Structure formats: structure tokens, C-alpha cells
Amino acid sequence: MCAKSCPRYHARINSRGFQQNRAARDNSCEELRPLAALNLRRPQRHLATEHCEERVASTRVDGRAVLDLQNARVHPQTPAQVRNRARCNKKSKPQSLKGNNVKKVLSLILLAAVFFASPAFAADPIVGTWKLNVAKSKFNAGAALTAGTRVYTEANGLYTLDQKLTGADGKEMSNRVQYRDGKEVKQATAAPAGADTTLAKKIDANTWDFDLKKDGKVVGHVHRVVSADGKTTTVHNTGMQLSGAMGDDTLVFDKQ
């Protein structure tokens, strides 16, 4: 019987091969043991840190794609990342809307301030109290004045002039005149000269012209100018005067 076909022979061969393989593994372990010791001395990275780094690396956004810095590959966003991005955009919109609302409110406040303040800015500069400047005025012969005041008021476009003048003889003359731009206004009390109607025309913010009428006929004319600084008013009267005589005089008033 051949020795190679004997079962005992094969058992001895297999046992010898197993022992040789085991010896080889032991030798390889001896060689790798120093490397394992070196690996044990290296600090161990926390799993949470590694997970965080992977997460950061995988969520860097460049345009519409996500850049994986670890694998150096570009791949499209996942549905979850798209939803997160949309949610962030929705959260940022109210802030911009809030800023726009603040701007709108401030604009409305400014507009209201300008609207309500405009009547004050547009007030006629003649409104107020004026005092006659005798030295600067020019009078008709025999009709000089020694003092005088004018008070102008305005309500709904209707102006009222209350005037008091003192002549050289010490007598005081007073009268009230009402007028409205572009319309004839009947006077409740006729002036001493007899004019019963006044037709006023506004030339500009500081200049007015007046026609004085009696029985529908023009008997006198007044040209009135307020200085640019609003401190002086010059009144040029032609035709019938308060005294009833015809004449031409210039009265200068200072704002009080």
C-alpha cells in the first residue's frame, strides 16, 4: 500500500502544515506588535468630532450643489437640504419686510408732517399787526398822518383789514375792509370816502392790487407790496382817499 494514500500520512502532513501556518502568524504578529503599540499611543479622536467634521464637509454650499471636501466630489443637494434651505429663506423674509414697514411708517409720518405744516408755511405774510412809519411815508398836501395801525386777519380765504389812522388835527379815522382774491366783496360799512365794494387780485405771494368801487364805478386803486423779509408793507393809494379827496400817497408800515 502506498504511503501517500494512507490516512495517517495525510493527517501528519495536515498537522505539520497547520503548525507551519500558526508559526507564520505568530511571526507576523510579533512584527506588527510595535506598530500596534504606536497606534495605542496616538490620541483617539472622538466619534462625535469626526461626525461633526463629516457633516460640515458635506454641507458646504456652492451654487446649487453640495461640495464634499472629503471625497472631492460634487453631488446635488438632497431633498432634506433643499427643505432646510427654503426654511432659512422663509425665516429671513420677515426681517426684510419689517425693515420695509418701518420705512413706510417713517415716510407716512414725514408726509403727514409736511401736509399739516403746509398751511403755516403758506400763510399770507400780510396777516398780523402793522404800525405806520410816518417818517418813511409820503402824504398828500394837507392830509398828513401822525399815527396809524393796521390789523389783517384771514379765515377761509376771506381777509379782513381793521385800520385806524390819526390826522394832523388829532382826529382818528377807523374803517374795516374785507376782500377775497378775484371776487368783488360788498362792504358792510362804506368807507369815509364812500367806496362800497372792493375787488382784490393777488399778483404773487407778496403783492396784491385792489379796485375801490362806488355804485359799480372804480373810484380808487391800491397797490400793496410786502417786502421779501416780511417786515415792511408799502401801500400806494391813487384816486379817492379816505378823506374823500382825490390824491396820491404812499404809506409804509412796519410789522409788529
Q: Is 209 in the same domain as 174?
A: yes
Q: Is 213 in the same domain as 105?
A: no
Residue 47 lies in a domain: no
Residue 44 lies in a domain: no
pLDDT given at position 192: 54
Residue 221 lies in a domain: yes
Q: Is 108 in the same domain as 174?
A: no
Q: Is 105 in the same domain as 132?
A: no
Asked if residue 248 lies in contact with residue 225, where contact means CB atoms within 8 angstroms, the answer is no
Q: Is 136 in the same domain as 111?
A: no
Instruction: Tell me the C-alpha distance between 83 and 91, whole Å.
Output: 12
Residue 3 lies in a domain: no
State which of 120, 154, 186 marks the end of a domain.
120
Q: Backbone phi, then psi, for 96, in 5-degree steps? A: -65, -35
pLDDT given at position 195: 85
pLDDT given at position 98: 59
State which of 120, 138, 155 marks the end of a domain.
120
Residue 178 lies in a domain: yes
Residue 58 lies in a domain: no
pLDDT given at position 120: 45
Q: Is 78 in the same domain as 196?
A: no
Provide the CATH number for the domain around residue 187. 2.40.128.20
Q: Is 138 in the same domain as 251?
A: yes
State which of 120, 144, 159 marks the end of a domain.
120
Domain span including residue 81? 73-120
Tens digits of pLDDT across the chain (256 residues): 455 555 555 555 555 555 555 555 555 555 555 545 555 455 555 444 444 444 444 444 444 544 454 555 555 667 777 677 766 665 555 555 556 777 777 777 877 665 555 444 468 999 999 999 999 999 988 889 999 999 999 999 999 999 999 999 999 989 899 999 999 999 987 665 578 999 999 999 999 999 999 989 999 999 999 999 999 999 999 988 766 678 899 999 999 9
Q: Is 80 in the same domain as 171?
A: no
Domain count, the chain: 2
Q: Is 96 in the same domain as 147?
A: no
Q: Is 183 in the same domain as 234?
A: yes
